[in-house]
Structure 1
């Protein structure tokens, strides 16, 4: 069915039963991921969920099939925009960077940034990732009880790695500020993004004042570093850190980033570049801690390929089983578990009518567990990602990096960082899970709602 055709041509979308007046509001607030999963199990691949009282009610058209995800993200991507309240809150807090911008703003930014994310350029960051991983591992030597929270530790590693790549020698000046301010701002975004009504940000409420103070501190340190870097390099691009390269990015058609635009890109890279990778690393380690046979197999591959040397970018292709482990962890725990869009025109998805203006939800959390693509979907099995197995599935049965023209520009960097870090960590330590059940929820990215502790032991030899 063509975009813009009458939405009435498709079948009516089944509705997840809620409670009178507010529908599924409380279910979504307490367990949105479980609610989406139940919706698919009860009603199929296109389900409508209502939430909120009359007059403030949201209607979510949830699409759970790989084919539907491909339609929304790729084949009909122009019909599905980032226009929902949640993205607006992220835009208002973290700026109009690649994650949140649209239309010509997005295209211009993508053209300016794309040359900085070629495979050759990204491969040059392998040394920085290895150095930050070694620093984290050195800290584990002092763990008296041999227990680490892999969620906390991988968040620290990923933040330091992306800060080093962005800022070079200015890592220490940013890490503490980001670590302190990001949780305040992201919680503020979530609360406002999922609330049916909000006070204006300018009103002096306690929540507004806390968020404004955190944003002022975060913006201030970024603005200071940007100004110092531009003054030191005179905009000539001399230097290998990403901030210097972003400041020097220009073209005759697209111009260059001004100071505010540069800060927006930096904030989005900090947000998207550390929380997502940290999630993938933490759950890969925790899953291996619960599956010693797969952990031993991964370690054997690492030892055989690397020996005692520091991993480098070329090793990404030499560690296929470790890459399969990572992909399976990203299937079970996708860092972006929910993706929202708004339909511009009426269309049809999976034989169901989706009207113009509809809020459309994709849920990798659900699609990655869809029994049509993933037999025994809750089982951890890296063999699902052999080349032969991948070739037998629809393209969008697995989409942790989104897809289509707005696919994550940093996906090669994320894979490179994750494989290098995992290789170094697993070569040095054995893992045994202390917390076997890790509750999670959907924030801006997937987040743990408790510790993910593992007992670690140095690997002999």
Structure 2
């Protein structure tokens, strides 16, 4: 569904905004107050639809849902102001605040000095020199994936979402944790429960006590215990093998959390940070890869170009770090996939003090939403925004687009620390699979986007496999 700007034909003509008296603060347009029940239904069951609805009011909209008023901004300049220029006034907002009860105070949800401490601790692990040294590991994991898929040629469909999850967990374990996460078969199901609980916290505004024995909450509590078991095992294994002298994330966390005056606080920090890394470190890449194979199946001409490039660049060998700039079209495909289906589909913030964004007043305490999903489909900055067209990311083609029209890894101080690792992983995997295999969606299977903590495919993606 193409987004309609405020001045475009077909845009809503009525909103809750009334004529502004002289000297009054400017308020964004939006649905009338009596639309609150339908907006709440969208919040529960159609969050992308709610973002799309907001975008029909223009580059700014106000959505009133019961006790919450959401301020939606959808212009690159507004995104830049909230996420970068005045980021100190905007802490993590609705959704992530509530998700804290589910995933704790890791790098994704923490604020202030705790966040800065966590970022300083983990940043060296993602330096370019270190990431370049992980290329061989990623290529090996991608080769293992290709071998698994090749074994299913001509057989029953494979669930591509599950395969990409196993792949990304394998890469995460070997590159950042110095651990074999394949030993923990329950980890994927545990994170399903965590994401379900995080969304439940969002729609209930964390008003339901955790002890209430709802099936969803019971499942989450079991998952939380299982994740704690996994974290404890990773830490104990690292201490037994290398102590705290390693340079991987687990070793760094052990050293960092030992500095806490209260050992209980240190243990809790360890759990929160590792659970967050396990979730964010595999979920976003797995989602991007799943959407990629779905889209290139729908566009055979894209697969043909991917296949030709991979054969020319790689031949029959594994990719190396220097191949990244040679796999040019593959990188363009990844970028276009993340435009249409950004793994982080919403960046919620909460205003700490009164402010003005795009000429509109934002009161202190307000929830502010920047949605890469709608920003990446803004018709003012993207031609045919719903069309899958990797050529729009050709580095030789001038675009004239503002930098903040495309923010798949977020922006500002909280820009995703793992963006280079994720891009290398996605590029290598797509090139190696397209070189050797062709995946086809099972006829009649309906693919539905599910906006959780990342934008994933609901219920998996069954595809058949055949040789290229």
Please give the secondary structure, in 2, of the residue aligned with 1:317: coil
1:69 matched to 2:83: no
Greater shift, 191-200 or 279-288, is seen at 191-200
Q: Is the 8 A contact 2:26 2:361 kept in 1?
A: yes
Please give the secondary structure, in 2, of the residue aligned with 1:387: coil
Equivalent of residue 464 in structure 2, options 423, 445, 455? 455
1:247 matched to 2:254: yes
Q: Is the 8 A contact 1:82 1:102 kept in 2?
A: yes
Q: Is the 8 A contact 2:121 2:252 kept in 1?
A: no
Please give the secondary structure, in 1, of the residue aligned with 2:380: coil
Task: Please report how far the alpha carbon of residue 253 of structure 1 lies from its aligned counterpart in structure 2 after TM superposition.
Answer: 13
Task: Please report how far the alpha carbon of residue 19 of structure 1 lies from its aligned counterpart in structure 2 after TM superposition.
Answer: 4.2
- Partner Cα separation in structure 1 for residue 40 and residue 366 of structure 2: 17
- Which structure 2 residues correspond to residues 232-271 of structure 1 after superposition, within 5 A? 232-237=241-246, 241-248=248-255, 258-271=266-279
Q: Is the 8 A contact 2:257 2:266 kept in 1?
A: no
- Partner Cα separation in structure 2 for residue 63 and residue 221 of structure 1: 39
Q: Is the 8 A contact 1:165 1:242 kept in 2?
A: no
Change (3 A) 1:394 1:60: same
- Which structure 2 residues correspond to residues 163-242 of structure 1 after superposition, within 5 A? 163-174=173-184, 176-196=185-205, 198-237=207-246, 241-242=248-249
Task: Please report how far the alpha carbon of residue 438 of structure 1 lies from its aligned counterpart in structure 2 after TM superposition.
Answer: 1.8
Change (3 A) 1:314 1:252: farther
- Partner Cα separation in structure 2 for residue 374 and residue 162 of structure 1: 33
Change (3 A) 1:351 1:306: same
Task: Please report how far the alpha carbon of residue 142 of structure 1 lies from its aligned counterpart in structure 2 after TM superposition.
Answer: 3.3
Change (3 A) 1:9 1:77: farther
Change (3 A) 1:418 1:48: same
Please give the secondary structure, in 2, of the residue aligned with 1:336: coil
1:50 matched to 2:57: no
Structure-2 residue corresponding to 1:15 = 30
Equivalent of residue 36 in structure 1, options 45, 51, 59? 51
- Partner Cα separation in structure 2 for residue 312 and residue 234 of structure 1: 31
- Which structure 2 residues correspond to residues 331-370 of structure 1 after superposition, within 5 A? 331-370=339-378
Task: Please report how far the alpha carbon of residue 24 of structure 1 lies from its aligned counterpart in structure 2 after TM superposition.
Answer: 1.4
1:418 matched to 2:426: yes
- Partner Cα separation in structure 2 for residue 196 and residue 111 of structure 1: 31
The two structures, once aligned, show a CA RMSD in angstroms of 2.6
Please give the secondary structure, in 2, of the residue aligned with 1:194: helix
Q: Is the 8 A contact 1:164 1:170 kept in 2?
A: yes
Structure-2 residue corresponding to 1:393 = 401
- Partner Cα separation in structure 1 for residue 388 and residue 235 of structure 2: 43
Structure-1 residue corresponding to 2:306 = 298
Q: Is the 8 A contact 1:226 1:259 kept in 2?
A: no
Please give the secondary structure, in 1, of the residue aligned with 2:46: helix
Change (3 A) 1:250 1:217: closer
Equivalent of residue 98 in structure 2, options 82, 89, 92? 89
Change (3 A) 1:196 1:259: closer
Q: TM-score, normalised by structure 1?
A: 0.89
Q: Is the 8 A contact 1:66 1:396 kept in 2?
A: yes
Task: Please report how far the alpha carbon of residue 403 of structure 1 lies from its aligned counterpart in structure 2 after TM superposition.
Answer: 0.5
Q: Deviations over 1:9-35 (max 9, x none)?
A: 652210124645635111232211122
- Partner Cα separation in structure 1 for residue 461 and residue 186 of structure 2: 24
Equivalent of residue 145 in structure 1, options 147, 155, 163? 155
Q: Is the 8 A contact 2:125 2:176 kept in 1?
A: no
Q: Deviations over 1:132-190 (max 9, x none)?
A: 2222222223324363332232122112221233443432333x131121111210111
